[in-house]
Structure 1
Amino acid sequence: MTLGSPKSKITRLYRARVANDSKHIIKILSDPKKELGPPPAEYRVSGRMNAAGIPVLYMALEPETTIAEVRPAIGAWVIIGSFRPERELRLLDLTNLKVGVGSYFRADLDAAVGLRDFVSNFSRIISRPIAARNESLEYLSTQFVAEYLGHKIKPSFDGIIFQSSLTSKGKNVVLFEPAISIGIDDHRFPLSEDNISYVQIPPDEQPEFRLDTKRIKLNRKNYKDCKLKIIFSETKVQEVYGIDYQCIETDINNVNEE
């Protein structure tokens, strides 16, 4: 899939951050490029598609999916950034990848079957839930394949689309360097945190965050080389008030009964 092309139906990617109070929200809103972009080197922990220290950007195709992926607690706030591709991004879509073997009389049938099975297994492994205590070991195989797809093969992929392990229909996206260079469409940023206020009048109504634009000095940087731009007018702040769980029941049988 080529994202950002005129024919692409996907025009936005989404990324979320969890905030526990209004001060943290204001910090994120004052500099969305820094706070919603790739984490700095000291915070690049091992992930499903990257070894520790390797810069990548985990995103989603739907706002609901990116909320689920940050696993917020009830009562927490979630800031959702909307990103627009500024260049064509070459993505491997594992959710819509069909690898056939063609004729069963072909000379390289074994290789074709092996490729089909590998793609099928990789797509399944990359999307399955993993307990936090097993992450470092379980991620090794997917990290290796991601590194190969993003940097070793030619032409390489800018990222991978894969099924979310936390929602039934959601799709995640991981982007590799250099596709993770971020800009913002609003020349007012970054702001001083003093330019943003938290207002709740009257007390029983939904609060809001207000930007004081009269005291803002414009930043004329145009981010001409960025691959993604944050569309600040589409930024959302949402409060989590409930979580849906999907469970599979396991029977308990006493096998020692006579």
Structure 2
Amino acid sequence: MVGEVEPLKALQEGHSRAAIIQRIINEYPLVELDESRLFYRIRKAPKVPTEEAEYDTPPTEFLGTGRLDSTDLPVMYGSQDLEVCVHECRVTAEDEIYVASLAPTRTLKLLDLSYVLPEEHVTEFDSLDMAVHMLFLAGKHSYPISREIAKAAHVAGYDGLIYSSYFSLLRTGSMPFEAAYGISYRRFPQMREYEQAKSIPNFALFGRPIAGQKVTVRCINKLVLSHVNYGFHFGPVGV
């Protein structure tokens, strides 16, 4: 099978991007994050580790470098998977690492972009699910697109996004883009649960949730790395 994922191609073009983003807002599900949903945020060498504000969204001068944040829309990143938090923050053994355990103070409305979207009578070439899946597996060149999705979700009244961590496949040890008979597993209804399990969801909360009292700090701890394990295999050297 040879071709392009047309919604992904449209996201890369300025004149067609808005229409695909609106489809994303309309077709992906809303998830409610209530007070029982604990998640984590890590900081390396905060100036005052015990200060709750240290674990809020970064100051304005540090915005605009992440996948979803911009100077127009501050974003707090967190995850319910502590190992993913550690990897996302690129920590080393010599870093002073602190972790805040956080929880919403009220029910938050999040747009879930980590969801394996059911699509009937749609090939990979026309699949919005494949487009979003590939977008969040892409590197920094994709950030301007994902930032526009975040802004659109904010305008639509969401408190934030759920999205698949870039490191999901490393965390789960899964193979990317598995297929049968040339068709992605994501297109088979009976494989949706299997594909969903490959995704480690991260939270992106708009604004400054701690300062805005949308999120509370349950506790703060120092995080000490005691063991690291790598799984790998050899691959060919590029020409």
TM-score if structure 1 supplies the norm length? Answer: 0.60
The 5-angstrom pairing of residues 229-244 of structure 1 reads: 229-232=216-219, 235-244=220-229
Inter-CA distance 83–35: structure 2 relative to 1 (3 Å threshold): same
State the alpha-carbon separation in 2 of the partners of residues 51 and 115 from structure 1.
30
Structure-2 separation of matches of 1:150 and 1:50: 11
| Alignment correspondent of 2:24 | none
Match of 1:69 in 2: 88
Q: Which residue of structure 2 aligns with residue 198 of structure 1?
A: none
Relative distance call for 1:242 and 1:4 in structure 2 (3 A) is same
Q: Structure 1's 161 and 93: CA in aligned 2 closer, same or farther, altered over 3 A? A: same
**Which of the residues 135, 148, 153 maps onto 1:149?**
153
**Identity %, equivalent residues:** 21
For 2:206, the equivalent position in structure 1 comes to: 176
Q: 1:228 maps to what in 2?
A: 215
Structure 1's unaligned 5+ residue stretches are: 105-111, 184-224
Aligned counterpart in structure 1 of residue 40 of structure 2, from 4, 11, 14: 14
Go from structure 1 to structure 2 and tell me whether the alpha carbon gap of 1:241 and 1:91 turns closer, same or farther (over 3 Å shift).
Answer: same
Q: Which deviations, in whole Å up to 9, do the C-alpha atoms of 1:178-236 show, x marking residues without a partner? A: xx4216xxxxxxxxxxxxxxxxxxxxxxxxxxxxxxxxxxxxxxxxx61110012xx22
Aligned residue identity for 1:172: N
> Runs of 5+ in structure 2 lacking a partner?
1-30, 173-198
- Provide the residue aligned with 1:158 in structure 2: 159
* Root-mean-square deviation over aligned CA pairs: 2.8
In structure 1, C-alpha distance between the alignment counterparts of 2:145 and 2:107, rounded to whole Å:
28
- SS of the aligned residue for 1:230 comes to strand
Equivalent of 2:134 in 91, 116, 124: 124
Q: What is the number of residues matched between the two proteins?
A: 180
| Structure ID, larger Rg | 1
For residues 227 and 86 of structure 1, do their structure 2 counterparts lie closer, same or farther at Cα, with a shift above 3 Å needed? same
Query: In structure 1, what residue type is equivalent to 2:145?
Result: S
2:154 partner letter: G
Question: Out of 29, 36, 41, which is 2:60 matched to?
Answer: 41
Contact 2:73–2:206 under 8 Å retained in 1: no
Letter aligned with residue 58 of structure 1: Y
Question: Could you tell me whether the CA contact under 8 Å between 1:122 and 1:142 is conserved in 2?
Answer: no
1:81 corresponding residue in structure 2:
100
Q: CA contact under 8 A between 2:73 and 2:151: conserved in structure 1?
A: no
Counterpart CA distance in 1 for 2:238 and 2:100 is 48
- Which residue is equivalent to 1:4? 34
Kindly tell me: are residues 248 and 90 of structure 1, through their superposed partners in 2, closer, same or farther at Cα, counting changes over 3 Å?
farther
Separation of aligned partners in 2, 1:2 and 1:116: 29
SS of corresponding position for 2:230: coil
